[in-house]
Amino acid sequence: MNSSTVKVPQVISNRDEQRFAAVDELLGRLDKLHSSPVVALQVMELTKDPDFEMGDVARCLDHDPALAASILRLVNSSYYGLSDPVMSLPHAVTYLGRRPLRLAVLSFGLVKTLVSGAPAQFHQTYWKRSLTMAAAARKCAELSADPEADADTAFAAGLLADLGMLVLAQLETEQYVEIAKEPDHTMALVKQEREAFGFDHMLVGQRLLAKWELPTPLVDAVAAHHTYLPISPTLNHLLLTANLMTEALWNPASVYMQPLQQVLNRRLGMEVDELITLATETETAIKESMEIFGVRLDDEIDLEAVEQQAREQFGQAALESDDFLGGLATLV
């Protein structure tokens, strides 16, 4: 993956300022519904120092049993493949170390805060997409030869990418839950969001994560996870790929199978057989993530349909995807 970044002067138009103000007003309403994820943010603050005290973090996590339990489930999952289970929180914190711990707290602490307030009928929509994006982003990072492709960071980015949808589902429930029924959760969904509210869930997520002072690369990737730009940071490419993978896995006949193959070929050198293997491994990783988060998905991925569509569309992918990727570039 090309990890270079082109620095472009930021020019904020009046229209942009209006959109930002509208989103910030929305997030102000969110503050009245939820307190900030105090423990998660406290852990983030404690771990800013590379020499943080493990005991301080463990004691902080004791105040949020659900978050602590999630950390323990993660450490004991197949992602880390430990031969002996980790039973204590201090041991888990010590084993993870600073970077993976921060990412785990981001994932579990912040997502939990917003999922708890979303309408029940929206839970499946959110978890289906987020667990798939997280699993796919991690798998793509593991396959990448790019040294900047960190699997834990990619997983956290995938899980946090659609937080903006959760905000809209809570604050504009009746209207947004109907919009979220749109099966195309990339271009068509964004179009409907912009028509209804004047902004999209990507901008909402970006402003929320920035407000919580999360790492800038993570915030930027969330802001651009529906957007294809050839020259952009590695994490952005991983998250876009995971988004396209999510579309293709849950709806193999969608228009996103071809651009997915094109991006995988360009960024990871993958052909159709490797795509099918990636799909199978992602499905397994989704099931693992369901256990970690204590989530059950009602639907299942049809891997046979995915393979059939991938092979049928493979010959056309190289010919037709450039125009489609150009369409994704217009989402900025």
Cβ neighbors of 96 (< 8 A, separation 6 or more) are 71, 74, 75, 104
| Per-domain residue ranges of the chain | 14-34+117-329, 35-116
How confident is the model at residue 134, as a pLDDT? 93
> What is 14-34+117-329's CATH number, 3.30.1370, 1.10.357, 1.10.3210, 1.10.3470?
1.10.3210
Residue 198's pLDDT band (cuts 50, 70, 90): very high
- Whether the CB-CB separation of 155 and 103 falls below 8 Å is answered with yes
Each residue of 206-218: b (16+ CB within 10 Å) or e?
bbbbeebebbebb
* Residue of 304 and 253 predicted with greater confidence: 304
Residue 328's pLDDT band (cuts 50, 70, 90): low
Residue 327's pLDDT band (cuts 50, 70, 90): low
How confident is the model at residue 6, as a pLDDT? 42
- For 100-122, the pLDDT digits (tens) are 888 788 778 778 777 877 888 78
Helix (H, G, I), strand (E, B), or coil: what is residue 297?
coil
